[in-house]
């Protein structure tokens, strides 16, 4: 959607589409020094960012009833979301939840464009609300940063750069520790910190690598993460349309742009854009929003605030750049509930309904009983036959659960535990073995069906079916 008339020196109107805002015509990376954003959108974003940062940094350390609020232990496949544990056995639930999230993102993006990027994405929040602010604090505003970069390596410049990169690395180290706490839990992280380094070489190696990666992203790679790497940024161009709300320049009001003139007759026939370039100066991805919605725009709202400040100064109404849709600008009407949006919403409601139902009815205890392969049967001293079984009971709750395995059929069968099969630890698994003893009478040669029932705290939890193998001459003792 092109909305204005940026041309190159040949008159080609869409020259801006041929190269990225942070890359020169020769293909070299252009370091962006955006001006410090100020304004009401930025103030609200700052509050939202601090709230989200507080959640992010405390997530793995806050506990609900002694359990982590968030844990994403990929290595051991343990997940805790808002105090609710998920096990590998909940994979179907997990996949459906991820699918719901994808549909939600599609729906959200179709309606609100890339609002996620500007307001919620950790990359933008860390970059714009922490690292960029430290840069302003140490090196000054955009113009001072440019000047410092051009200067020779004086003592002051070396000190400033060392201080900046030292603070950057310290924060990256903090982020890496938090990241590891999400993966391994706060307990193992605390052990890595307090135990002798030689006992946790792998953990220390992981923290070092994460720290370097975060440092590299925020000190050097920066906006390229959003423009080149992030799949969501690419994906969103397929999801937005004329009705999607995004940070948009009102070209009907702004064009034809013209430098500010004092005499009234000189401004006749011109739009409200005074071509001051402030919206471009504050943009962290280096684009000119007046060219229309672009892939590089992360909806950070800095250009809205910058333009509003200019409009205040020239006594024209705010909102030349604002949240709107292409149709909102073109036809002055917004249409949120398009058939596409309604279809996505319907799919999302169905998916959420299924996930909620499955979640509400999922087993808190899951049991698997398998006849051990290899050994067919064994003779007991009292003349009965026995088979070996292995049992696994997973406890998804945070409390220790007393369990009992009972035989449902055949009635004459007896379970002889080979170890402790009475308790399942919280968030843990009971792994054990037992013998199932049966009198020879009534047994058929070969496979005989057996059924077990699992009781937790005296309550029936689940039934498990298996088989008992008897020899072909089962009726003869000592066979
Ligand atoms: S800040 Fe506003 S007035 Fe200035 S160039 Fe951008 S759109 Fe035009
Ligand atoms: S165009 Fe505006 S909203 Fe988009 S990234 Fe640049 S400053 Fe932020």
Kindly give the distance from the C-alpha atom of residue 134 to the centroid of ligand 1, in angstroms, as a whole number.
Answer: 27
Residues in the chain: 479
- The closest-lying atom of ligand 2 relative to the alpha carbon of residue 289 is 1
Query: Is the same domain home to 2 and 20?
Result: yes
Query: Is the same domain home to 81 and 228?
Result: yes
Query: Is the same domain home to 350 and 371?
Result: no
Question: If pLDDT is split at 50, 70 and 90, which confidence band does 14 have?
Answer: low
Query: Is the same domain home to 128 and 68?
Result: yes
Q: According to the per-residue pLDDT averaged within each range, which of 117-121, 197-201, 305-309, 472-476 is highest?
A: 305-309
Per-residue pLDDT tens for 60-115?
888 776 667 777 777 777 777 777 777 777 778 878 888 888 888 888 888 888 88
Pocket of ligand 2 (CB under 6 A): 247, 282-285, 287, 289, 297-303
Out of 316, 342, 362, pick the residue that ends a domain.
362
Residue whose CA lies nearest to ligand 2 atom number 6: 283
User: In this structure, is residue 153 part of a structural domain?
Assistant: yes
| Whole-number Å distance between alpha carbons of 434 and 437 | 10
Query: Is the same domain home to 329 and 439?
Result: no
User: In this structure, is residue 336 part of a structural domain?
Assistant: yes
Out of 332, 362, 392, pick the residue that ends a domain.
362
Query: Is the same domain home to 398 and 356?
Result: no
pLDDT(138) > 80: yes
CATH of the domain at 445: 2.60.40.10
Query: Is the same domain home to 323 and 379?
Result: no
Kindly give the distance from the C-alpha atom of residue 393 to the centroid of ligand 1, in angstroms, as a whole number.
Answer: 65
Per-residue pLDDT tens for 23-39?
777 778 888 999 999 99
Residue whose CA lies nearest to ligand 1 atom number 8: 273
Kindly give the distance from the C-alpha atom of residue 280 to the centroid of ligand 1, in angstroms, as a whole number.
Answer: 8
Q: Which ranges constitute the DSSP H helices of 81-222?
A: 91-112, 115-119, 122-124, 132-139, 142-150, 155-184, 186-194, 201-216
Kindly give the distance from the C-alpha atom of residue 236 to the centroid of ligand 2, in angstroms, as a whole number.
Answer: 15
Residue whose CA lies nearest to ligand 2 atom number 7: 283
Kindly give the distance from the C-alpha atom of residue 279 to the centroid of ligand 1, in angstroms, as a whole number.
Answer: 6
Question: If pLDDT is split at 50, 70 and 90, which confidence band does 479 have?
Answer: very low
User: In this structure, is residue 183 part of a structural domain?
Assistant: yes
Residue whose CA lies nearest to ligand 2 atom number 4: 297
The ligand that comes nearest to the alpha carbon of residue 311 is 1
Cβ(292)–Cβ(3) below 8 Å: yes
Query: Is the same domain home to 370 and 351?
Result: no
307 lines ligand 1 (CB under 6 A): yes
Distances (CA, A) of 28 to 24, 107, 249, 391: 5, 37, 28, 62
Query: Is the same domain home to 333 and 406?
Result: no
Q: What is the mean pLDDT of residues 462-467?
A: 89
Cβ(179)–Cβ(210) below 8 Å: yes
Pocket test for ligand 2, best of 45, 285, 286, 306 (most atoms within 8 A of CB): 285
Residue whose CA lies nearest to ligand 1 atom number 1: 307
Q: What is the mean pLDDT of residues 243-256?
A: 91
Contacts for 418 with CB less than 8 Å, ≥ 6 apart? 388, 432, 433, 434, 435
Kindly give the distance from the C-alpha atom of residue 199 to the centroid of ligand 1, in angstroms, as a whole number.
Answer: 58
User: In this structure, is residue 173 part of a structural domain?
Assistant: yes
| Whole-number Å distance between alpha carbons of 149 and 143 | 10
Out of 362, 383, 417, pick the residue that ends a domain.
362
Residue whose CA lies nearest to ligand 1 atom number 7: 273
User: Which backbone phi and psi does 71 adopt, to 5 degrees?
Assistant: -145, 125
Contacts for 398 with CB less than 8 Å, ≥ 6 apart? 65, 66, 67, 85, 426, 427
pLDDT(339) > 90: no
Q: According to the per-residue pLDDT averaged within each range, which of 110-119, 154-163, 352-361, 363-372 is highest?
A: 154-163
255 lines ligand 1 (CB under 6 A): no
User: In this structure, is residue 144 part of a structural domain?
Assistant: yes
Per-residue pLDDT tens for 385-441?
999 999 999 887 778 889 999 999 888 899 999 988 888 888 778 899 999 999 988
Total domains in the fold of the chain: 2
What is the model's pLDDT at position 264?
A: 60
∠88-93-95 over CA atoms, to 5°?
A: 85
306 lines ligand 1 (CB under 6 A): yes
Kindly report the pTM of this predicted structure.
Answer: 0.76
Pocket test for ligand 2, best of 121, 299, 323 (most atoms within 8 A of CB): 299
Kindly give the distance from the C-alpha atom of residue 286 to the centroid of ligand 1, in angstroms, as a whole number.
Answer: 14
Least reliable range by pLDDT among 157-161, 180-184, 472-476: 472-476
- Average predicted confidence (pLDDT) for the chain: 86
Query: Is the same domain home to 283 and 378?
Result: no
User: In this structure, is residue 272 part of a structural domain?
Assistant: yes
What is the model's pLDDT at position 65?
A: 63
- The CB density around residue 251, as the number of other CB atoms within 10 Å, is 22
What is the model's pLDDT at position 15?
A: 63
pLDDT(288) > 60: yes
Query: Is the same domain home to 81 and 161?
Result: yes
User: In this structure, is residue 234 part of a structural domain?
Assistant: yes
Query: Is the same domain home to 401 and 344?
Result: no
User: In this structure, is residue 412 part of a structural domain?
Assistant: yes
Range of the domain at 244: 1-362
């Amino acid at each position: 959607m092109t909305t204005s008339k940026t041309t190159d020196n040949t008159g080609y109107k869409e020259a801006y589409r041929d190269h990225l805002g942070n890359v020169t015509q020769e293909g070299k990376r252009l370091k962006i020094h955006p001006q410090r954003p100020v304004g009401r959108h930025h103030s609200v974003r700052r509050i939202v960012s601090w709230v989200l940062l507080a959640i992010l940094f405390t997530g793995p350390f806050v506990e609900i009833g002694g359990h982590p609020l968030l844990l994403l232990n990929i290595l051991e496949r343990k997940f805790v979301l808002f105090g609710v544990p998920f096990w590998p056995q909940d994979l179907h639930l997990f996949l459906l939840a991820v699918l719901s999230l994808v549909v939600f993102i599609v729906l959200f993006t179709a309606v609100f464009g890339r609002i996620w990027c500007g307001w919620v994405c950790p990359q933008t929040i860390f970059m714009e609300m922490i690292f960029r602010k430290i840069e302003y604090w140490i090196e000054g505003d955009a113009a001072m940063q440019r000047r410092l970069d051009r200067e020779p390596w004086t003592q002051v410049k070396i000190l400033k750069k060392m201080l900046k990169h030292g603070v950057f690395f310290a924060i990256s180290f903090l982020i890496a520790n938090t990241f590891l706490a999400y993966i391994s839990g706060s307990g193992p992280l605390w052990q890595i910190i307090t135990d002798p380094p030689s006992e946790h070489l792998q953990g220390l190696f992981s923290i070092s690598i994460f720290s370097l990666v975060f440092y590299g992203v925020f000190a050097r790679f920066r906006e390229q993460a959003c423009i080149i790497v992030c799949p969501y940024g690419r994906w969103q161009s397929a999801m937005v349309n004329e009705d999607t709300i995004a940070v948009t320049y009102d070209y009907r009001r702004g064009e034809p742009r013209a430098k500010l003139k004092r005499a009234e007759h000189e401004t006749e026939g011109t739009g409200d854009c005074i071509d001051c370039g402030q919206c471009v100066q504050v943009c962290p991805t280096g684009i000119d929003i007046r060219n229309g919605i672009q892939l590089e725009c992360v909806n950070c709202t800095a250009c809205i605030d910058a333009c509003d400040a200019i409009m205040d100064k020239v006594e024209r109404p705010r909102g030349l750049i604002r949240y709107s849709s292409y149709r909102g600008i073109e036809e002055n009407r917004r249409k949120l509930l398009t058939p596409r949006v309604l279809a996505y919403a319907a799919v999302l409601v169905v998916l959420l309904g299924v996930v909620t139902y499955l979640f509400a009815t999922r087993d808190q205890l899951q049991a698997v009983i398998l006849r051990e392969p290899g050994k067919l049967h064994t003779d007991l001293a009292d003349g009965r036959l026995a088979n070996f079984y292995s049992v696994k009971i997973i406890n998804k709750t945070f409390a220790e659960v007393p369990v009992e395995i009972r035989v449902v059929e055949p009635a004459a069968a007896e379970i002889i535990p080979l170890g402790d099969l009475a308790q399942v630890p919280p968030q843990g698994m009971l792994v054990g073995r037992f013998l199932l003893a049966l009198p020879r009478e009534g047994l058929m040669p070969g496979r005989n069906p057996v059924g077990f029932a699992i009781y937790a705290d005296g309550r029936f939890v689940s039934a498990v079916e298996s088989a008992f193998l008897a020899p072909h001459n089962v009726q003869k003792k000592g066979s």
